[in-house]
Amino acid sequence: MTAIIDIRTPLDESEVVEVVRDANAAKTPLRIIGHGSKSALGRFAPQECGLTTRALAGVTLYEPEELVISARTGTPLREIVDLLDGNGQQLAFEPIDYAPLFGGAQRDDTIGGVIAVNASGPRRIKAGAARDHVLGFRCVTGRGDIVKSGGRVMKNVTGYDLSKLVTGSFGTLAVLTEITLKVLPKAETEWTVLVRGLDDEESLLILRRAGATPYEVASLAVAPHNGMHAAALRLEGPEISVVKRRDDLIAHFADSAARIEILEESDSRIFWAALRDATPVVGEEGQVWRVSVAPTDGFAFVQSIKRASAPILAHFYDWAGGLIWLRLETAPDAHADMIRDAVDRLGGHATLIRASDEVRSRVDVFHPQPTALSALTRRVKESFDPAHILERGRMRAEF
Amino acid sequence: MALKMPAPEKAILSRREELIERLRAILPAASVIADETGRRAYDCDALTMYRALPLVVALPETVEQVQAIMALAQEMSVKIVPRGAGTSLSGGALPLEDGILLGMSKFNRILEIDYENRCARVQPGVQNLAISKAVERSGFYYAPDPSSQIACSIGGNVAENAGGVHCLKYGLTTNNILGLELVLMGGERLRLGGKHLDSELYDLLGLLTGSEGLLGMITEVTVRILQKPMTARGLLLGFPTVEAGARCVGAIIARGIIPGGMEMMDNATIRAVERFQPCGYPLEAGSLVIVELDGTPTEVDHLVEAVEAIACAEGAVMTKTSQSEEERLRFWAGRKNAFPAVSCIGPDYLCMDGTIPRARLPEVLSRMDALAKACGLRVANVFHAGDGNLHPLILYDASKQGDVERAERLGADILRLCVAVGGVLTGEHGVGVEKRDLMSEMFNDDDLAQQQRLKCAFDPQHRLNPGKVFPTLHRCAELGMMHVVGGKTPFADLPRF
């Protein structure tokens, strides 16, 4: 990372406006930083000036019975998680912690960063992504206007749903200043049924069979456990229900040649937290990709890059087979063409998560779009930030 | 009528014959409806108090035809109003006298059902309920269930981000779709999302959902389908007051229980429903809460006990738990008939759709009551209690001089009240024309300008469904240069309608 020379720390929204307007006047692009835990994510596009949301911190509203929390975007995620935990609640979308992938010591991210990258975990198939839990926000657009959208209630269709748009926009549209989220009760307990001793293709079929039962599996993955890949089926709910569903699932797979193993509550939590943070592909060496395809296409994707002799060092499947994390041997082009050709034949996208600054300035980090969609994407960007002031080059070279 | 739509453009009206001729070159003769009787059938949606005769009605059946029409409209600078099944309660499909009404009813095929990936690709004119019907034998369903589900189309559901009674647990339309195909003004065809579970770069799929037909014509939708819960049981809980019912709803959620459905009605509605079709609701109760718990039998039985205990602790005067599927459906029958039942106690009603923080319910109901009394009207309340979405039904008599205006004024006051307590104008019906002029209660000029800039990114000429959602039309060039200084309203001199 090239050091940013000038980082400003606005103390409130009006100071954010000032910083953004100054940057527009000076035609100087701005980096937006929370605690910097994701600074290696996205295209490499060094800037001299930055803005940190560090001082915009604190929970501004929390009403557990209404399932709603609002916080300024510089609030540490840890603080929010602890507060919710104390009330038996959670962010059901389980945001990934990038610290293991990027060599950070411990979780140090802000809620603004979580929303800016639409961080979503293994519960995606049942509980949705981060974008499904954002009820509203306040921000300062690239023009320097304070804009709000959405609200604090569960059900709201008043005006365009800008919450979806800013979630995952990597700060390229606006500096988020406050976020309002839907929170949900934590399940009383969770257990995981592991089906072991099968190859990936058979394991993925187990996921499909488990998903077709009415036992309300919350997460479905094929990932390493004790050195070998296993099909992992996560059950959550009241204990009486989890125990019954566990037994039903075991009976369901009684015919298979596989070995069944159970992870009880604390082991189950550790297992899924590790998958959430992509730990199985962390490793010291190599470049890391995150690929999203239809669940039944996951295996075909991996097969196709294997046929093309992809030097895979580690991989696992989440989201019932539709999310593939991969670590490959380092290459100057990060094997981008091979990976994207395989994805394009199936439908979906591939994101380059970890590679050197040099590679991430040359290779498209985000999946290329067809021409018409790419032009529309740029018009949407410019409707918020016509001068490309915010996070210039972070998502696309052209803006 | 108080509603002002953009004045029909003479330049368009004068080229009507040419437009019809060119549409006939794109579509079969029967798919271009130009005669007045034929067009009359399309002069309103479910917000029937507003009507307008469309310039011409076009009913394409292929995406290529939609593209050709959108290109033609752009070239001739003609407006387009999209229409699904015409069940919008907010006037989203209200025609324009100088616009093509583009009806998607012929896009009525389910293209693919993919059980393994838990999704279905459908054309936008497919009815909401038809999707669930198509997959039910395999044990699946499509979760969002607006009360108009036997008639409304999935394209319209996407345009309005439709909800229903199961939203708290299963989400709105936006949480239940994976992909869209759309055609932009000018005829460009785009695909957003697909069968994979997340989007990259900007979530345009999320933006399109609930955009009320202002950004693009939807020509295909990929919906998620869910495994049907193994079982569902209903509870009827009667309380002496609305406050006690609301407290119970809060206590259930605080206990960590998210029911599949949680509905509430006030005494006026209970009485109307029981008169219309008796289904065992307690006539003397101040409020009735209907709870539905779904999942595996063990879990449901466990939660039923927990909810019964909470209800008793909160002072329920009646608790009844369904012992059979027939009984569960009977519990719901009254709720599902609430609107027709209410229309039997007053000749006409206006259905409002604000959402409020649930804790403010008692206060909102009593202030609403005072507002209604002050203008001599009655209000019955149906409430999606779990998510705070309120449906006050304002009773009026259209044959009485001034009653329509009084009801509309009361409706606006109720929505202002919702916003004042931290809520929103519309939870699931959309802004359309109905709440358009109230948008500034919730959003300031900067908020609205940013939304309109997005409109410009899709439709810079404002040809697609203009006059809906936004109280003021700005030319895009003006928005581009707009800068608000010192809180002054930009373009204060531009007409508002």
CATH (domain of B22): 3.30.43.10
Domain limits for position B262: 231-339
Tell if the CB–CB gap between B198 and A148 is shorter than 8 Å.
no
Measure the CA–CA gap between A92 and A84, rounded to whole angstroms: 11
Q: How confident is the model at residue B482 (pLDDT cuts 50, 70, 90)?
A: very low
Q: Which residue of chain A is at minimal alpha-carbon distance from B254?
A: A65
CATH code for the domain of A271: 3.30.70.2190
Using an 8 Å CB-CB cutoff, list chain B residues near A211: 118, 227
CATH code for the domain of A322: 3.30.70.100
Using an 8 Å CB-CB cutoff, list chain B residues near A168: 199-203
CA-nearest of B358, B362, B242, B258 to B303 is B258
Which residue, chain included where needed, has tokens 């210039």?
A392
pLDDT, one tens digit per residue, over B381-429 is 999 998 999 999 999 998 999 999 999 999 999 999 999 999 999 999 9
Residues A135 and A5 reside in one and the same domain = yes
Q: How far is B47 from chain A (nearest CA, A)?
A: 17
Residues A11 and A108 reside in one and the same domain = yes
Of A226, A244, A276, the position where a domain reaches its end is A276
Lowest mean per-residue pLDDT among A336-340, B53-57, B161-165: B161-165
Q: How confident is the model at residue B480 (pLDDT cuts 50, 70, 90)?
A: confident
3-state secondary structure of A151: coil
Tell if the CB–CB gap between B204 and A376 is shorter than 8 Å.
yes
Tell if the CB–CB gap between A160 and B451 is shorter than 8 Å.
yes
Number of domains in chain A: 3
Q: Summarize the confidence of residues B447-473 as an average pLDDT.
A: 95
Residues A41 and A121 reside in one and the same domain = yes
Q: How far is B17 from chain A (nearest CA, A)?
A: 32
Q: What is the pLDDT of residue A3?
A: 67
Residues A54 and A201 reside in one and the same domain = no
Measure the CA–CA gap between B177 and B121, rounded to whole angstroms: 10
Q: Which residue of chain A is at minimal alpha-carbon distance from B256?
A: A185
Q: How far is A282 from chain B (nearest CA, A)?
A: 22
CATH code for the domain of A86: 3.30.465.10
Residues A322 and A374 reside in one and the same domain = no
Tell if the CB–CB gap between B204 and A67 is shorter than 8 Å.
no
Residues B285 and B315 reside in one and the same domain = yes
Tell if the CB–CB gap between B204 and A165 is shorter than 8 Å.
yes
Q: Summarize the confidence of residues A255-260 as an average pLDDT.
A: 81
Give the global pTM.
0.95
Q: How far is A49 from chain B (nearest CA, A)?
A: 23
Lowest mean per-residue pLDDT among A113-127, A148-162, A380-394, B483-497: B483-497
Residue A134 Cα to chain centre, angstroms: 14
Task: State yes or no: pLDDT of A257 exceeds 90.
Answer: no
Tell if the CB–CB gap between A132 and B171 is shorter than 8 Å.
yes
Number of domains in chain B: 3
Domain limits for position A260: 189-276
Residues A20 and A160 reside in one and the same domain = yes
Q: What is the pLDDT of residue A103?
A: 87
> Is B448 a domain residue?
no
Tokens of A392: 């210039």
Using an 8 Å CB-CB cutoff, list chain B residues near A238: 299, 302-303
> Is B150 a domain residue?
no
Residues B252 and B311 reside in one and the same domain = yes
The DSSP H or E segment spanning A164 is helix A162-166
Tokens of B111: 């293209």
Residues B244 and B328 reside in one and the same domain = yes
Q: How far is B459 from chain A (nearest CA, A)?
A: 11
Residues A250 and A376 reside in one and the same domain = no
Tokens of A251: 């009976």
Residues B15 and B92 reside in one and the same domain = yes
Of A225, A257, A276, the position where a domain reaches its end is A276
- Asked if B273 contacts B265 with a C-beta cutoff of 8 angstroms, the reply is yes
> Is B318 a domain residue?
yes
Share of chain A above pLDDT 70, in %: 99
Task: State yes or no: pLDDT of B259 exceeds 70.
Answer: yes
Tell if the CB–CB gap between B431 and A186 is shorter than 8 Å.
no
Give the closest of B355, B449, B484 to A156, CB-based.
B355
3-state secondary structure of A229: strand
Tell if the CB–CB gap between A158 and B386 is shorter than 8 Å.
no
| A and B: number of Cβ contacts within 8 A | 271
Tell if the CB–CB gap between A145 and B190 is shorter than 8 Å.
no
Q: What is the pLDDT of residue A2?
A: 55
Q: What is the pLDDT of residue A87?
A: 96
Give the closest of B203, B429, B442 to A164, CB-based.
B203
Tell if the CB–CB gap between B457 and A372 is shorter than 8 Å.
no
Of B430, B465, B484, the position where a domain reaches its end is B430
Q: What is the pLDDT of residue B131?
A: 98
Q: Summarize the confidence of residues A240-252 as an average pLDDT.
A: 95
Measure the CA–CA gap between B239 and B282, rounded to whole angstroms: 9
